[in-house]
Amino acid sequence: MLDFWLFFRVLVFPGFTFILFLTLFCDWVERKIEARMQSRVGPAIAGPAGILQPLADFIKLLTKEEIIPRDAKKNVFRIAPLVAFSVMVFAICFLPIDGSSAISSSGFVGDLIVVMALVTVANFLLFMSGWASANPYGDIGAARVLTQFLGYDIPLFLLALTPAFLAGSLTISIIAANQYLPFIILAPWGFVLFIVALQAELEKDPFDIPHADSEVVGGLETEYCGGKLAFLHLTRDVQIVLGAALVVELFLGGPYGPVFFGLPAFWYSLWFVLKLLVVVMITEYVTCLFARMRIDQVLTANWRVLLPLSVLSLVLTVAMATYVYPMVV
């Protein structure tokens, strides 16, 4: 039996279409913040205040000629960007946006782990697209992507366990709903470290190496053009939305907030978007303020600094939750 309501939720709201437009909107927000911090104006003529700029970029790329290098591994080259994008969008569908997620109304046990695994798969597909492009810069860029996300996945996951522990569940919707006091207050160290690990996962300054223009030209995107390039860019942008959404769900209380009148779903979506924008702004400010680290410095920072700190953070949270908070909260 056809469930029109499910199709609507998955394809339009809060599913694919909503995520696509939210991604384009966040891209605009990021570019404006970066421009303002650099004392510039940023996109200004495509639509009012340049808000249609990311859409124009996307459409323009779709209308360009498709070129496939002779030595590239053609099937992987064609498909990897699209699949990476789909996997990322699929991962977002697990997150409650208007009170319940696109796919199910209450989630299932362990969907936090599923989301993290999907992110890893998507990053691996990005690596494959760089590897398949038969270009030395693509190879170097892809290798750097792999090194970086494999390394930072581990502390990211450990830090994601902190709110899981505080809420007593691995289900995202339960973690989001159980935040009478947002976990950013109960475990601020977790929040800060998670943002740092997220910068690395999202490959933004200071962990920007896979996209270092001056060293690897276009990185894994060097040989791509046209529609496939559009999807590679979108994958990166959707990843930013996914990362920010995870922070919102895990630390900022998810979409839940005061409901003033009318449909709760409307208010929940509004709070979700507002909190998302706050996180996007934080990550963008950090990007503007730092230079790029060298690859060996990135690896040192991960294995020698971030990993031990995330373990410590988990231990500290467990200790606080077992002994301190029951007395206070």
Partner 1 sequence: MSKLATWARLKSPWVLHFNSGACNGCDIEVVALLTPRYDVERFGIKLEPSPRHADVLLVTGSVTQQCAERLKRIYDQMPEPKFVVAIGACACSGGVFKGNYNVLNGVDQVIPVNAYIPGCPPKPEAIIDGVVKLLNSLKPEKPAKGEKKK
Partner 2 sequence: MSKKEIDMLSVLQSKFEGTSVQVRPEQLGKAEVIADASTHRDVLKAMLEADEKTAVIAITGIDLGATIGVFYHIRTSETGIITIKVEVPKEEPQIKTITDLMPGATFDEMEVNDLLGVVFEGNPSLGRLVLPDNWPDGVYPLRKDAKLDNLQFKPTPPSEPEPAGNENIVKVIVGPQHPALLEPEKFVLKVEGEIVKDVEPRIGYVHRGIEKATESRTYLQDVYLVERICGICNACHASCFVETVEKILKTEVPPRAKYIRTVLLELNRLHSHLLTLGHAGLEIGFETLFQYFWRDREPIMDITEIISGNRVISSGMTVGGVRRDINEADIPKIKGRLTDLKKKLPFYKNVYEDEPSIKMRMKNVGTLKREDALKLCIVGPTARGSGVDIDVRKDEPYEAYGEIPFKLITYNEGDTWARMNVRMDEVEESINIIEYALDNLPAGPFRVRVPRVVIAGEAVSRVEAPRGELFYYLKSNGTAYPERVKVRTPTFANIPAFLATAIGSSIADVPPNFVSLDPCFSCTDR
x-or-dash pattern for partner 2, window 89-118, by CB under 8 A?
------------------------------
Sequence-distant contacts of 324-328: CB under 8 A, at least 24 apart? 325/186
Q: Which is nearer to partner 2, 39 or 63 (CB)?
A: 39
Q: Shortest gap between Cβ of 231 and partner 1 (angstroms)?
A: 14
* Closest residue by Cα to residue 32 from 48, 17, 19: 48
* Closest residue by Cα to residue 227 from 61, 77, 56: 61
Among 79, 150, 293, 307, binds partner 2 (CB under 8 A): 293
**Residue 19 contacts partner 2 per CB under 8 A:** no
Q: Which is nearer to partner 1, 69 or 257 (CB)?
A: 69
Among 185, 274, 289, 319, binds partner 2 (CB under 8 A): 289
Q: Chain-centre distance of CA 13, in angstroms?
A: 19
**Residue 214 contacts partner 2 per CB under 8 A:** yes
**Residue 292 contacts partner 2 per CB under 8 A:** yes
Please report, to the nearest 10 degrees, the dihedral formed by the alpha carbons of residues 300, 304, 309, 312 taken in order.
160
Q: Which is nearer to partner 1, 59 or 185 (CB)?
A: 59
Q: Which is nearer to partner 2, 17 or 297 (CB)?
A: 297
Neighbouring residues of 165: CB distance < 8 A, sequence distance ≥ 6: 314, 317, 318, 321
Q: Which residues bind partner 1 (CB under 8 A)?
A: 31, 35, 38-46, 50, 52-53, 55-60, 63-67, 137, 213, 217-218, 221-226, 229
Q: Shortest gap between Cβ of 39 and partner 2 (angstroms)?
A: 6
Neighbouring residues of 102: CB distance < 8 A, sequence distance ≥ 6: 9, 10, 14, 15, 92, 93, 94
The helix-helix angle for 307-319 and 188-201 (nearest 10°) equals: 150
Q: Shortest gap between Cβ of 44 and partner 1 (angstroms)?
A: 4
Say how far apart CA 206 and CA 165 lie, in whole Å.
30
**Residue 212 contacts partner 2 per CB under 8 A:** yes
Q: Shortest gap between Cβ of 67 and partner 1 (angstroms)?
A: 5
Q: Which is nearer to partner 1, 20 or 187 (CB)?
A: 20
> Burial, 306: exposed, middle or buried (Cβ in 10 Å; 0-12, 13-18, 19+)?
buried
**Residue 205 contacts partner 2 per CB under 8 A:** yes
**Residue 119 contacts partner 2 per CB under 8 A:** no
**Residue 217 contacts partner 2 per CB under 8 A:** yes
Neighbouring residues of 268: CB distance < 8 A, sequence distance ≥ 6: 96, 97, 98, 99, 255, 256, 257, 259
The binding site for partner 2 (CB under 8 A) comprises 34, 37-40, 136, 140, 205-206, 208-209, 212-215, 217, 288-297
